[in-house]
Chains A and B, each alone.
Chain A
Amino acid sequence: DAKTTQPNSMESNEEEPVHLPCNHSTISGTDYIHWYRQLPSQGPEYVIHGLTSNVNNRMASLAIAEDRKSSTLILHRATLRDAAVYYCILGEYGNKLVFGAGTILRVKS
């Protein structure tokens, strides 16, 4: 399973943008980049996924480097409700998701 590297923790101010980085230098050509988050005492929640192009949805944006060896999850305006563990996961379509340690995001009011 391809590995990802994320910072252990990050802090953000409420209503400011947050950029969560993820390094995946051993990514293969068929690996998708998936992001999930886990709020306290809840199950993981799907955020976004992409392959090569940047992606936007109602929750976040995903910026993927041209060489695909890194990506950034962008929360455009952090709220207290966004405080969670964010997981960056590589996986081919049809394969299982393997979760790493993730980044703990703290949001200050």
Chain B
Amino acid sequence: DTAVSQTPKYLVTQMGNDKSIKCEQNLGHDTMYWYKQDSKKFLKIMFSYNNKELIINETVPNRFSPKSPDKAHLNLHINSLELGDSAVYFCASSRSHGLPGYTFGSGTRLTVV
């Protein structure tokens, strides 16, 4: 039973399209995160939600909009995709905001062509 699951695993799309990545956790955690790992392998936090409330919003273009319908789900919608958005996006969760022991999903590899 996967703790943090992301769909899709791979996503290839054209520039200018709008796409969504879904994330669900079955751990009962209160906090969820989106991280982006670029081609240089650096992991950067994008957003964090605690009990459906946005608590971290890093310097991310407003084409990226997270949505948390409930505390078990955190989706990422991206408008007007650009080549530079190509990366692996990881969802993660933790028991509460900032508590150690994040659990990460296996990632969504987004390729914009």
Contact = CB atoms under 8 A, between A and B. Distances in A.
Interface of A: 32, 34, 36, 41-46, 49, 85, 87, 91-102
B43 A44 contact: yes
Nearest to A43: B104
B107 A43 contact: yes
B97 interface: yes
Given A41-B107, A91-B98, 11 more contacts: A32-B100, A41-B106, A42-B107, A43-B4, A44-B90, A49-B100, A85-B41, A93-B98, A94-B97, A96-B33, A100-B42
Nearest to A101: B42
A43 to B, nearest CB: 3
Contact of A97 (B102, B105, B106): B102
A99 B92 CA distance: 14
Contacts of B104: 43-45
B96 to A, nearest CB: 8
A97 B102 CA distance: 9
Given A42-B107, A44-B90, A44-B104, A99 B99 contact: no
Contacts of A100: 42
